[in-house]
Amino acid sequence: MGFGAQGADGLYRRPMLEIRREHWLGMLAEAWARYPLEACGLLFGAGGGDSVERFVPIQNESKSSRIYRLEGSEYARAVLAADKDGLDIVGVMHSHTHTAAYPSPTDVAEASKPLVPPSWHWVIVSLGWGHPELHSYQIVDNGIVQEPVLLA
Amino acid sequence: MSTVSVRLPTVLRPAVNGQTSVEVAGATVGEVVDGLISKYPSLESNLVDDDGHVRKFVNVYVNDEDIRFLAQLATAVADGDEVAILPAVAGG
If one counts every other C-beta atom within 10 angstroms of the C-beta of residue A39, the result is 25
The answer to whether A5 and A135 are in contact (CB under 8 A) is no
Closest CB to A79: pick one of B11, B65, B86: B86
**Any domain includes B35:** yes
How high is the pLDDT of residue A4?
A: 62
Averaged pLDDT in 10-residue chunks for chain A of 152 residues: 65 87 97 96 95 97 94 93 96 95 95 93 91 94 93 92
Taking the C-alpha atoms of residue A132 and residue A125, their distance in angstroms, rounded to an integer, is: 7
Chain B hits for A69, CB-CB cut-off 8 Å, are 88-90
Q: Is some CB atom of chain A closer than 8 A to the CB atom of B58?
A: yes
Across B39-68, average pLDDT: 94
Domain that holds residue B37: 2-87
- The ipTM (two decimal places) reads 0.91
How high is the pLDDT of residue B62?
A: 97
| Contact: A47, B10; criterion CB under 8 Å | yes
**Any domain includes A7:** no
| Contact: B12, A115; criterion CB under 8 Å | yes
**Any domain includes A11:** no
pTM score > 0.90 for this model?
A: yes
Q: Does position B16 have pLDDT exceeding 90, yes or no? A: yes
Q: What DSSP character marks residue B55? A: P
**Any domain includes B6:** yes
Q: In the A/B pair of chains, how many CB contacts fall below 8 A? A: 85
Q: Is A11 exposed, middle or buried (0-12, 13-18, 19+ CB in 10 A)?
A: exposed
The answer to whether B87 and B47 are in contact (CB under 8 A) is no
| Contact: B91, A62; criterion CB under 8 Å | no
Q: How many residues in chain B?
A: 92
Q: What DSSP character marks residue B49? A: -
Across B45-72, average pLDDT: 94
How high is the pLDDT of residue A121?
A: 97
What is the Rg, in whole angstroms, of the alpha carbon atoms belonging to chain B? 12
Q: Is some CB atom of chain A closer than 8 A to the CB atom of B18?
A: no
**Any domain includes B92:** no
Closest CB to A114: pick one of B57, B59, B90: B57
CATH of the domain at B75: 3.10.20.30
CA B39 to chain centre: 13
How high is the pLDDT of residue A6?
A: 67
Taking the C-alpha atoms of residue A87 and residue A83, their distance in angstroms, rounded to an integer, is: 5
Taking the C-alpha atoms of residue A101 and residue A122, their distance in angstroms, rounded to an integer, is: 10
How high is the pLDDT of residue A7?
A: 67
Residues 6+ apart with CB under 8 A from B28: B73, B74, B75, B76, B77
Q: Are strands A149-151 and A17-19 parallel, antiparallel or unpaired?
A: parallel
Taking the C-alpha atoms of residue A17 and residue A137, their distance in angstroms, rounded to an integer, is: 9
How high is the pLDDT of residue B77?
A: 97
Q: Does position B58 have pLDDT exceeding 60, yes or no? A: yes
Across B61-71, average pLDDT: 94
Domain that holds residue A78: 17-146
**Any domain includes B64:** yes
CATH of the domain at A34: 3.40.140.10
